[in-house]
Amino acid sequence: MLRFSLALTKGDFALQAEAPEPCQRLALMGPSGVGKSTLLSALAGFEGQAQGTVHLGDQTLAAGKTGLAPESRRLGMVFQRPLLFPHLTAEENLRFARPPTPPPVTFEEVVARLDLGPVLPRRAHQLSGGEAQRVALGRAVLAAPSWLLLDEPFSNLDPARREAALCLIDEVVERQGLTLVLATHRLEEAVSLCDHLVSLREQNGVSTGTAQPLAQALGGSGAPTLVSGSLREAGGTLEFCYGGQALRVKAAPFLREKDRAGPAAALIDPQDVHALPAGAPAPLGCPRFEGQRQGADQLRYGEDVFTLPVPLGPGDESVAFTLLGATVLPPRRRDALAVAER
């Protein structure tokens, strides 16, 4: 379980972030440049300017301006760039971990689950971006860490390999009770793997964020909104029915065949909520809704509140808007969020 309160300044950039309550599965989200990677780096101990506290379970990793060196924090980290040893093969990179205790998965299982068999003999510089990313993920898991810090770890993977990697990380975290910190732009990745969310936002030149249970964070300003609806298949396409209209399904991770019809829950990303000019129709194939203004950047539709990516200008209280898509939750995650909401 992770708790932290950190602040740092680097030139014109300033960051303040905290997780006051213990978190086991924490997602970091926010626009590019807001500080997700910097916060991960500070938690790992790579940011000498960082000040504050970092606690992992009953161990203090940092206090004030001092802290344990990264190699003493028992972490498995995957950076945005894989950072493999270029003179070693993929297999040698995987085996370089050499953990002091048995890893949560075997070498053979990592190779099979991440489809690394064909690339094991290749040198790191011969790997594609996706292949190198899968090797970096496997190496982090095989290091038998106490916690995993992952920075956009699935960004170069095709959908099938991305889901396989998501499943592997989910199982390892669950099996070993590891702490996970995931920086991602993808809402479906955060929802598939995490129970807490830090939504980083820049305010007055400072990037700030506080960890919240995912269900509490949803619907807040700048955060995704959890909605209820139903799933159906039409012409071979999966649709999420909300407010009597069909939304495009952007992602449905871990969704089994038997879950592809009937009651469902989904998340709406703020980037997919767009206000429409007065009298304007929705874009072709997108539904049109009538909501009520709630503050400068939020709309209310029934019991649900959506954050807009761009604040509303002056106008009437009634606002037409469209939703460009939804991320459908698998039942396991839907039930967890429902429990958290109660």
- Tens digit of each residue's pLDDT (9 = 90 or more) over 300-338: 999 999 989 888 887 778 999 999 999 898 777 776 666
Question: Which tokens sit at 268?
Answer: 């709406």
One domain, residues 308 and 284: yes
One domain, residues 180 and 324: no
Mean pLDDT of the region 102-126: 94
CB-count burial class (<10 Å; 0-12, 13-18, 19+) for 88: middle
Last residue of a domain, one of 217, 236, 270: 217
One domain, residues 233 and 185: no
Last residue of a domain, one of 166, 193, 217: 217
**Structural domain of residue 213, as residue ranges?**
2-217
One domain, residues 193 and 74: yes
One domain, residues 54 and 199: yes
One domain, residues 136 and 249: no
Banded model confidence at residue 257, pLDDT cuts 50, 70, 90:
confident
One domain, residues 250 and 272: yes
CA-atom Rg of the chain in angstroms: 21
Question: Which tokens sit at 272?
Answer: 């997919």
**DSSP state letter for 81:** S
- Tens digit of each residue's pLDDT (9 = 90 or more) over 5-44: 999 998 889 999 999 999 999 999 998 899 999 999 999 9
| The pLDDT value given to residue 132 | 96
| 275 touches 312 (CB < 8 A) | yes
CATH code: domain of residue 158: 3.40.50.300
One domain, residues 17 and 130: yes
Percentage of residues in the chain having pLDDT higher than 70: 96
Q: What is the largest CA-CA distance in the chain?
A: 66
- H helix intervals, 202-246: 214-217
Instruction: Report the SS3 class of residue 95.
Output: helix
Q: Is the pLDDT confidence value at 342 over 50? A: no
CB-count burial class (<10 Å; 0-12, 13-18, 19+) for 177: exposed
Determine the Cα–Cα distance for residues 84 and 116; give it in Å rounded to an integer.
Answer: 15
Neighbouring CB atoms inside 10 A of 206's CB total 14
Instruction: Report the SS3 class of residue 113.
Output: helix
- With the C-alpha atoms ordered 206, 210, 211, 216, is the resulting torsion angle positive or negative? negative
Last residue of a domain, one of 186, 217, 248: 217
The whole-model pTM stands at: 0.78
Mean pLDDT of the region 230-243: 91
| The pLDDT value given to residue 181 | 98
One domain, residues 244 and 198: no
One domain, residues 119 and 258: no
Q: Is the pLDDT confidence value at 253 over 80? A: no
One domain, residues 205 and 234: no
One domain, residues 266 and 127: no
Q: How many domains does the chain have?
A: 2
Average pLDDT, the chain: 90
